[in-house]
């Protein structure tokens, strides 16, 4: 019967749906963004599954038509039930599986398929089972909304088409959409190609369609529409322009730039008077279809309405991110970079030149500067003519001279802002500790002045002048957490050493210029560890913990034995390690007579275990040539019959052995810090006895790796020689009790401050004029940026000089605080002294001037963008002078406060805005508010929608800058 209808066999159906066969991915295949998937009622699916697994097409388990009735709240609206659970109430199948099932079994009459799309979320693609439900209404009738569902991948244009369909809007009627936010404010949905997800539309929001009136106005701009919002609008009346901007998350850089531009009087008045409406350029391929200019205009009108304490620049942020992907998201950025983008975007959106003509640039060819400059400015205006050019663009002269043929190239180039350098010191201060080989000398702390582009060798040479120790007998190390984080080579750059690193420089007897393989001595890194008795498990009975400062010890090659190394280190630690006197040793031996030598030992071996150890050691001793072995210092205890006088005077740097060592000392492996003492030989009876007196061991030695942990792979051969598999590292292991009695921690941590620690590298403040002089200083081009000489026909490292020819009405000065070179990256916190009034450029302008032009070279400060912090993080704020009242305000995101002029100058100053004095106006009463449709569009529309007053907006985003 099924075969007659063209339905494949049950096994074939199962393969197509479940994806059991090759090339048949079925419902288990991965999700792909944008594709369609369908909801299938789980009970029907399970019945179908049992049916196909039965193998009988005539079985009673035939599922019948697809029935999703259990997934709907009712069979009229076919609205999906809330909180449906996948695999319990429904499963998801791709479009091809759904189409196959419908063709084989059909679907219940009038039941709509439950189609859903795959959304590409940041974590993974996901089928959006529940769509975004929006309340759609007309502006003229907002009391009767209609609910409609949309996919998050649907664009706003689809929403607009659905609204027009629902309300039967004629095709010729122009419409636009607004969305009403939770706080009652309304925002335009300008970008119809943005998805519902990107537009941040969520279920329950109201989308309002507004139809343009026949007279060409929008209903929201009519005064009579503002029914109940007049009283709300009058609740707050503040100073126009004194309005904060909410931080949306790392957007303080944007807020700072906007506040600076907002307080440029001529630009703000240009937008408030709607002059921009006549100059919007929608066809400029370099522009942004006027959207940046419209978004900025909306922002300015809200800031200067006087009805907001702060506003949320969310739509402006979205618009900027749409046209400049580098500002997408909520990463930290540079206020000057945003300012540069915004000025360029406003210029292109408001460019009065609708079609740019091609202009061939001409060389100066010896012509007078005035002629060449006028021609350059005229050509610039033929292609670039906007309010931004009128206010912010100036002209500088660029002179290039070829070092080979002497060719001089003179050009005049426009600029929108001046990026002036700050004097950068070529030196840096480094604080280090110097460790002498002489153990009686405490470490010295030094503050050294070294070249930023120097090498580690330069650091050592500078230190050598303070200490008298040759630089080739120094080793530099970064110490972190009681271990060597890195040991530097002399040719390494100092830029890899950070100011926060703890740098220790050690005096060594080996010259760093010698080949380590042939040098007379070996430099051993030595760590200090404290061994604490812990729980007995496995074969480990001690926990070790690093402490103190590590050492770099020079050991002569002929003395590379554990006994010699022990005595050498004992001498090296003599300043803060107390040696036991004879009375203490006598007391120790008396105590040893009273105890059973074969009871439980400190090394954790029981009596029986030690007997086995005795036999093994006896065998090893028998097979070892006489005099060829020496006892490891780390394993010696009072019971050890060998007599090594490690406490004698003079047994230090040379590492001399005691005068009467035992000729037969069993060798011990130094692998475990708690090595067992040497057991008695077989000839020694099991009884209490008195052993020959010897100096007791204060610590043991252990071969370790660079982290200070036991290097179990580096097992030493039995005998006196110290051998290592790789770079030698040795640990001095202290028993807790021994450390407490003989190790003076206070003395060990002591150090002296060298006289040079009193030196401070002074960062004297610099005047803004000095930075401008540095900007106009002649320089040689870098190799990465050569100039092509038309005479030599090749690239040359020419000399370049910039001079100021003409300055704009509003001058933006960018202080280059962020320094990036091949040697270092840093933020310069130099204090730049800049005047609030009367910044005189008459000494920097090279354009010939008339005697009556003296006022056009003096500027007054109107705004400052500040940056607090370092390279990786920071916070931006703004000082700005209100154009109407003349009062200075401090803008910190949504917070605004009055400040005095004395507070403006600081190390945080980053971008300065100066206005020419002939354009500065004295404070005047605020102009009467205009009632034009364009200027009041946003406020009037929100009022007509019953929006809450904007001053109630709270700072709902944490400032994470």
Q: Which residues are catalytic?
A: 252, 875
> Nearest Cα to 45, choosing from 12, 14, 81?
14
Residues 6+ apart with CB under 8 A from 447: 429, 430, 431, 754, 756, 757, 759
321 CB-side CA count, 13 A = 17
In this structure, are residues 502 and 434 in contact, taking their beta carbons and an 8 Å threshold?
no
Query: Which neighbouring-strand residues pair with 484?
Result: 479
Query: CA-to-CA distance for 210 and 217, rounded, in angstroms?
Result: 11
Q: Are strands 444-451 and 752-753 parallel, antiparallel or unpaired?
A: parallel
In this structure, are residues 545 and 624 in contact, taking their beta carbons and an 8 Å threshold?
no
Query: CA-to-CA distance for 956 and 459, rounded, in angstroms?
Result: 51
In this structure, are residues 139 and 220 in contact, taking their beta carbons and an 8 Å threshold?
yes
The number of residues in the chain equals 961
Residues 6+ apart with CB under 8 A from 688: 593, 594, 595, 596, 597
Q: To which H or E segment does residue 872 belong?
A: none
Query: CA-to-CA distance for 431 and 439, rounded, in angstroms?
Result: 22
Compute the C-alpha angle 811/780/830, nearest 5°.
50
Query: CA-to-CA distance for 141 and 642, rounded, in angstroms?
Result: 106
Q: How far is CA 263 from CA 259, 699, 804, in A?
A: 6, 73, 25
Q: Is 668 exposed, middle or buried (0-12, 13-18, 19+ CB in 10 A)?
A: buried
Question: What's the order of all strands across the beta sheet hosting 90-94?
Answer: 90-94, 36-41, 115-120, 125-127
How is residue 923 annotated by DSSP?
Answer: P
Residues 6+ apart with CB under 8 A from 779: 799, 800, 801
Residues 6+ apart with CB under 8 A from 629: 621, 664, 665, 666, 667, 718, 719, 720
- For 416-442, give the DSSP string: SSEEEEPP--SEEEEEEEEE-SSTTSP
Helix axes 291-303, 265-272, angle to 10 degrees: 100
Largest CA distance in the chain: 123
Residues 6+ apart with CB under 8 A from 872: none
- For 457-525, give the DSSP string: HHHHHHHHHHH---GGGEEEEEEETTEEEEEE-TTSBGGGS-TTS-EEEEE-SS-TTS-TTT-SEEEEE
Q: 5 phi and psi, to 5 degrees? A: -80, 0
Helices (H) and strands (E) in the chain, counts: 20, 39
């Amino acid at each position: 019967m099924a075969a007659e209808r063209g339905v494949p066999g049950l096994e074939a159906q199962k393969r197509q749906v479940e994806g059991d066969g090759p090339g048949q991915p079925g419902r288990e295949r991965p999700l792909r963004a944008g594709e369609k998937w369908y909801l299938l009622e789980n009970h029907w699916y399970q019945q179908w599954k049992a049916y196909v697994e039965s193998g009988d097409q005539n079985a009673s388990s035939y599922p019948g038509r697809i029935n999703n009735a259990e997934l709907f709240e009712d069979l009229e609206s076919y609205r999906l039930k809330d909180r449906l659970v996948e695999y319990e109430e429904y499963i998801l199948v791709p479009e091809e599986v759904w189409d196959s099932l419908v063709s084989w079994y059909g679907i219940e009459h009038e039941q709509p398929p439950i189609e859903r799309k795959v959304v590409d979320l940041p974590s993974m693609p996901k089928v959006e089972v529940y769509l975004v439900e929006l309340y759609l209404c007309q502006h003229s009738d907002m009391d009767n909304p209609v609910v409609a569902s949309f996919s998050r991948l649907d664009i706003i244009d689809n929403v607009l088409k659905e609204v027009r369909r629902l309300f039967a809007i004629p095709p010729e009627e122009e419409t636009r959409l607004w969305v009403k936010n939770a706080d009652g404010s309304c925002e335009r949905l300008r970008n119809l190609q943005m998805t519902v997800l990107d537009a941040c539309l969520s279920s329950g929001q109201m989308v309002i369609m507004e139809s343009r009136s026949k007279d060409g106005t929008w209903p929201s701009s009519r005064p009579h529409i503002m029914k109940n919002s007049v009283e709300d609008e009058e609740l707050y009346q503040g100073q126009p322009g004194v309005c904060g901007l909410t931080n949306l998350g790392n957007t303080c850089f944007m807020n700072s730039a906007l506040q600076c531009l907002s307080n440029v009087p001529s630009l703000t008045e240009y937008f408030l008077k709607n002059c921009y409406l006549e100059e919007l350029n929608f066809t400029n391929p370099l522009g942004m279809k006027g959207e940046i200019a419209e978004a900025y205009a909306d922002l300015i009108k809200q800031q200067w309405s006087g009805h907001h304490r702060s506003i949320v620049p969310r739509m402006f942020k979205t618009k900027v991110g749409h046209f400049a992907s580098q500002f997408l998201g909520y990463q930290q950025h540079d206020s000057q970079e945003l300012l540069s983008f915004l000025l360029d975007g406003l210029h292109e959106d408001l460019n009065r030149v609708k079609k740019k003509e091609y202009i061939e640039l001409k060389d100066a060819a010896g012509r007078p500067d005035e002629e060449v400059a006028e021609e350059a400015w005229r050509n610039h205006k033929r292609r670039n003519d906007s309010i931004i050019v009128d206010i912010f663009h100036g002209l500088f002269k660029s002179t290039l001279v070829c070092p080979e043929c002497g060719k001089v190239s003179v050009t005049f180039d426009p600029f929108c802002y001046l990026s002036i350098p700050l004097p950068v010191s070529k030196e840096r201060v480094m604080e280090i500790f110097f460790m002498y080989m002489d153990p009686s000398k405490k470490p010295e702390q030094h503050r050294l002045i070294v070249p930023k582009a120097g090498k580690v060798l330069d650091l050592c040479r500078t230190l050598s002048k303070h200490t008298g120790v040759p630089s080739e007998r120094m080793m530099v190390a970064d110490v972190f957490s009681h271990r060597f984080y890195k040991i530097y080579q002399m040719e390494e750059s100092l830029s890899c050493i950070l100011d926060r690193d703890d740098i220790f420089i050690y005096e060594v007897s080996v010259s760093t210029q010698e080949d380590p393989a042939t040098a007379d001595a070996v430099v051993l890194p030595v760590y200090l560890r404290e061994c604490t008795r812990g729980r007995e498990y496995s074969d480990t009975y001690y926990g070790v913990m690093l402490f103190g400062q590590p050492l770099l010890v020079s050991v002569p090659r002929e003395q590379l034995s554990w006994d010699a190394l022990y005595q050498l280190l004992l001498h090296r630690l003599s300043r803060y390690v107390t040696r036991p006197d004879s009375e203490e040793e006598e007391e120790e031996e008396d105590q040893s007579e009273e105890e059973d030598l074969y009871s439980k030992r400190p090394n954790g071996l029981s009596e029986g275990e030690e007997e086995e150890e005795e036999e093994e050691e006896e065998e090893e001793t028998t097979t070892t040539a006489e005099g060829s072995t020496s006892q490891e210092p780390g394993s010696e205890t009072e019971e050890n019959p060998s007599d090594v006088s490690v406490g004698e005077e003079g047994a230090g740097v040379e590492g001399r052995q005691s005068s009467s060592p035992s000729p037969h000392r069993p060798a011990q492996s130094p692998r475990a810090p708690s090595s067992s003492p040497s057991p008695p030989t077989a000839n020694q009876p099991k009884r209490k006895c008195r052993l020959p007196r010897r100096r007791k061991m204060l610590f043991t030695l252990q071969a370790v790796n660079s982290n200070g942990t036991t290097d179990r792979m580096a097992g030493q051969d039995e005998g006196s020689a110290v051998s290592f598999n790789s770079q030698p590292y040795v640990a001095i292991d202290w028993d807790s009790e021994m450390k407490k009695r003989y190790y003076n921690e206070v003395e060990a941590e002591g150090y002296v401050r060298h006289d040079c620690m009193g030196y401070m590298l002074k960062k004297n403040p610099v005047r803004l004029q000095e930075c401008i002089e540095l900007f106009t200083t002649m320089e040689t081009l870098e190799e990465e940026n050569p100039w092509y000489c038309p005479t030599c026909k090749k690239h040359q490292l020419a000399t370049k000089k910039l001079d100021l020819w003409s300055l704009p009405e509003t001058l933006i000065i960018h202080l280059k605080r962020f320094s990036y070179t091949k040697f270092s990256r840093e933020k310069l916190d130099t204090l730049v002294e800049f005047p609030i009034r009367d910044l005189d450029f008459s000494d920097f302008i090279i354009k010939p001037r008339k005697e009556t032009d003296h006022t056009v070279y003096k500027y007054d400060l109107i705004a400052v963008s500040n940056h607090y912090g370092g390279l990786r993080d920071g916070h931006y704020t703004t000082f700005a002078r209100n154009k109407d009242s003349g009062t200075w305000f401090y803008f910190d995101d949504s917070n605004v406060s009055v400040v005095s002029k004395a507070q403006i100058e600081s190390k945080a100053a980053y971008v300065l805005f100066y206005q020419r004095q002939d354009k500065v106006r004295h404070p005047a009463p605020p102009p009467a508010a205009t009632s034009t449709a364009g200027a009041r569009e946003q406020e009037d529309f929100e009022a007509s929608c019953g929006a809450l007053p904007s001053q109630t907006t709270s700072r709902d985003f944490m400032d994470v800058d």
